Structure formats: C-alpha cells, structure tokens
Amino acid sequence: MCGIAGIFHCQTPKPVDPARVERMCDALVHRGPDGGGVWTAPGVGLGHRRLSIIDLAGSPQPMQSADGRAVIVFNGEIYNFRELRRELEAGGAEFRTHGDTEVILAAWRKWGVACLDRLQGMFAFALYDMADRTLFLARDRLGVKPLFLAQLSDGSVAFASELKGLLAHPLLRREVDPLAIEDYLTWGYVPDHRSILKGVEKLPAGHYRLLRHNTAPSAPIKWWDVSFASRRRGSEADLGAELLHHLREAVTSRMVADVPLGAFLSGGVDSSSVVALMAEASREPVRTCSIGFDVEAEDETGYASEVARLFATDHHSKVVAADDFAEIDRLAAMFDEPFADASALPTWRVCQLARQHVTVALSGDGADEAFAGYRRQVFQAHEDRVRSFLPSALRAPVFGALGALYPKADWAPRPMRAKSTLEALAANGEEAYAAALAINRPDLRAGLYSDAMRRELAGYSAELPFIEMMRAAPARSGLDRAQYVDLKFWLPGDILTKVDRTSMAVSLEAREPLLDHRLVEFAASLPDRMRVRGKQGKWLMKQTMRRYLPDTILFRPKQGFVTPIAQWLRGPLAGEARAIASSAGIARTGWFSAGRIARLAEEHISGRADRSRLLWQLLMLDRSLRQLGISG
C-alpha cells in the first residue's frame, strides 16, 4: 500500500521540478513510510511513497518497464498478479522483480487500457508511456483506493492519493465549492462527484483518464460498472455453493503478503465470515483484532471473543473510553475534506491496535452494500412492493396527508414510528431512498443557510445527483436500485474513504475481500428473495455461512461502531456546540445563519431535541476549514 503523486503538463511539456513532486509525496509519508522516489521527464513528474507488502526489497517505485518505454507509480494490490505474470511470460514478457507493479507495466504494454479488465484488486495508478507521450490514470472498480486531481494555472494537472498531496503544490487554489457544503450537510461526507475545493476532482471508481501533451485534458472514461439487470437461476443449494466458492476465492486471494497479516473482528456477520474462511485456509492461527468501549450497550467484544474462540485465532482486543472527542483535530487532519461519520474514531482505534501486530488486515466491509444488509434496503424492498400496487396519483395524497398528520416520535418504540414510512410511501422510490440516507432534510438545511449562500446554490439540492444515479441504474427492482446507489455513491464516498484514511494514517494496509468484483457481480445477479426475505437482509449469505457460524452471530441485531456524540455535545463538548455559531472559521464563510445554529445548539444541550449529527457535522466542518487553512 502506498501514496502516489505527480504533475503532468497537458499543453507545452515544461520541465517538472523534482523537489515539487517530492514535497507532494512528503505530505503522504504516512501512506508509505518504507521508502520513496521521484522520476521526471519533459512535461511529467511521478512520485511515490512505499509501504512494503510484497517483494519487500525488489519493487522500488517509480518503476520503469524492462524495455524503458513506460514508468508507473502504483497504490494498491493486484491479487491475481502471479497468474497474469505467467500469461505474460508465455507471450514473451521478461520480469526483473517478483511483485505486482511490474505486471501492470507489462499488461499495459500488451493490452493497453484493456489491461484494466484483467486486473483483480484495489488500485490507483499513474503510468506514463514515453513512446505515446501519454499519462494513463486509473482507479479500481469500486473505489477502494483514492485519486485526487486538479488542473492548475500553469496548464498542468496535478494528482495525489489524498488532497493533502495537492495542498503541497503552491499553485493549488484554496477556494471552497459551496455545492460541496450542501453535499456534506446532506450526506455527512463530500461525495466522489465533488471536492471541497473548486478545481479539484476525484477520479470516479471504475474510471480512467488518458492525458496527452499538446492536448486539452480528456474527461474520465468508465471502464467498469455493476449491473443488476440480469437474474441468476438456481436452487438455494446451488446458489449457496456458488456463493461459497466466490467467498473462498475472495478471501484466499487477499491472504498473499510478505509481511504479518490478520483481520479486523467485530463479531458481526461480515468480519466473522472473513475470519472463518481465513481460518479454513490458513495453517497458522489467524491474528484478529477488535476494539470495545467502556459503555456496555456499545461494546461488541464479547461476540468477537466468541468467534475468536471458535476459530482459535490469535486474538487481541482493547477497550477504550468513549470520550475520544479530544482526537477530533487529528481526525480532521486525516480526512482533509470534512467527514462526519463518527464511526471513523473507533475505526482508527482498531487500525491502531491492528498495526501493533500486523501490516495487512482483512475487513468485512462491502457485504451490506452487495448483499442487502442494511435495514434501509430491506425497508426499500417492502415499500417498493406497496408502491407497485398503488398508483402515484393515489399514494401521494393519501400517504402524504397521513405522514403530515402523524407525529414525529423518535422516542417511541419502533412500530409506532410510522411518520417516515408514510412519507416514503408518498414519494417515489428514488426520492424516498435519498431521504432515508440524508442526515438532514432539505428544509433544515435551507433554514441554516444565509441569503448569500442560497444564491450561491441557485436551487441545487444534494439529493439530485443521487436520485439521477438511482434512476439510471441497470436494475430491475427497487432493491436493485437501492443497492446500486449504495455501491456507487455511499460506499466510495463514506465507507471506503473512512477505512482508507484511518488505516493509512497508521501505515496499515486494509483489504476488503467482500468487495471482490466477481463476488459483487454474482451478488447483483441474485433474485431479490435470495437477498431479502421477510425482515432479513443478506439472506443467502447468512444461510451459506451457517456451516461456519452460530445463529447467535448470524442473526443478532446489527450494531456497528457507535460513538456517543449526542452525550458528548450535551456534556464535555457542550461548550464546543455553543461556540460553533460564533466560530471564526464558520462565521467568516458567510454560509450560515449564526442565530439558527445557536438555537439548534441550545435545543440539543437542553435535551429538547437531538441535533447531535448536525452539530457534529458543523464541528467537523469547522475543524476541516482550520486544517485546510481556508475560510470561504
């Protein structure tokens, strides 16, 4: 795992200062503490920071191809590199190293951009072909590895694994995009179609770009997508057997490393499934790590210990205090862009624990998106069936009126909290699912903004790109569309960003076997009833894993990492909550109504309402603006 950075002149191929590329790489040293290098030629400079995982001494980067034609900097892992190497050697290719980086160079030489279809893994790389005078930038199918780009005033394009790499370039303009603020307040993160800074973009997952000298920068080109448009036929037993084959292949392919390897273990379905399959494939005890909290209701270490005993793992656990709020400045520095998923704190803590014992850790991320494990997806599936029976002309007025009359009762038992369900049934499926994921409703966001900010937004709503993506999904059902947008929008923007930054902050490589693209494509082809049955999501996966895991693990209520931000903002962070409205960073932007923020803070501190998620968003936004050294 590594960090990459570089500069490419699209017009006149001006000289690139190696020291400038080196400074960009120095900002990414946490991603690659084991070494670094810079290579330059007229009009191009490539830089690399290395975390050694495979071929520890033999694959330095930037790496030049055997024939001297191409140079690459690469972040990630190619899990099928040995099979590709054998195929390329049979065609006459020669190799000087034993790692996966040189395999990409040879694959480019033989297949060009079509080499991407043959790569199984997580990656973001920049490859310069000196014969074609072309820079080839590519990102993996699901966006496990990030790549930021910016077009600069001198006509160059700069790129880096993290925004902080671009911030090290003196020509980067530090002006906030107001549309990114609307996106952030809606989702709690800045999605991949946007950046917090104007002029900065993220190469989308499953896309590549080809940049050439003396040519205007080209747009990203999609090279992979997941389709829910077809349905696989077969009995539960046959489909379960096929699923188990894919799961085993995905896990074992990610167990290749020349450094200590282990797994995160929360005691939930996904991480327990990964550990079970690792234990099956390993001759040695699997190293596992889990984090717990000193608040019993939020602690899952008992379940993790049960799985660790079941598979005789070399288990390490640590209980941490729930008052980790003192680390929010370090958290803001990890992400650069504002990021308000509070589970980033415990995710960082488990990465710290894992790094004490291993250099590579397998995670269970991705199964909820691929196999419909979120409660919101189950609700969407059931609500979509109701919508299919009732025309919109009837649903909208009937359920809309009921939803308006029904009280909002967040304090009540779940069966009595029907307001959101009634409102969802009144809307179409895409609008309802956007509302289910949004942290703050449009009316609340609009009430926060100043008149000047509303003019800047010019009617833009963060839900619009989400709804458009969902409507255009290659899908057959409402469940399909919900999963598609979770895989394409939520997963790279929130989940994978969180895992990448928190693991890389401690120089730990995290691998996601449940996001193997073959496994994801198989899951997308399953009939709805093999994904959701009754109130149960991930149905076929859970049935398949019953041969390994007890029902107490497979069918217990989903928890996930919980951070007690509501209590913090009424207790030790109450002063911070009150100060947000008058914060110099927030106030200078002119984006918000200070009086409205102050009233929301008092509502929360007094206990009249739970405004914790919004206040946490504003607090993390304020900290991010400080880290970026910008105001508005």
Catalytic residues: 2
469 half-sphere exposure, CB direction, 13 A CA radius: 21
C-alpha–C-alpha distance, residues 562 and 557, integer Å: 14
Round to whole Å and give the CA distance between 112 and 289.
41
The whole-angstrom separation of Cα 592 and Cα 182 is 11
Name residue, tokens 């690659």: 32
Q: How many residues does the chain have?
A: 632
Question: What is the token pair recorded at 585?
Answer: 């960073």
**Tokens (6 digits) for 317:** 């656990």
Q: What is the Cα–Cα distance from 191 to 208, expressed in whole angstroms?
A: 18
Give the whole-angstrom CA distance, residue 270 versus residue 259. 24
Amino acid at 121: G
Helix, strand, or coil here: 585? helix
Tokens of 361: 């850790």
Q: For residue 501, what are its two tokens? A: 């930054």
- What three-state secondary structure class fits 139? strand
Q: In whole angstroms, what is the distance from residue 253 CA to residue 80 CA?
A: 7
Neighbours of 433 (CB within 10 A): 27
Strand partners, 38: 47
Rg from Cα positions in the chain: 24
Structure tokens at 359: 């250099």
* Contact between 496 and 370 (Cβ < 8 Å): no
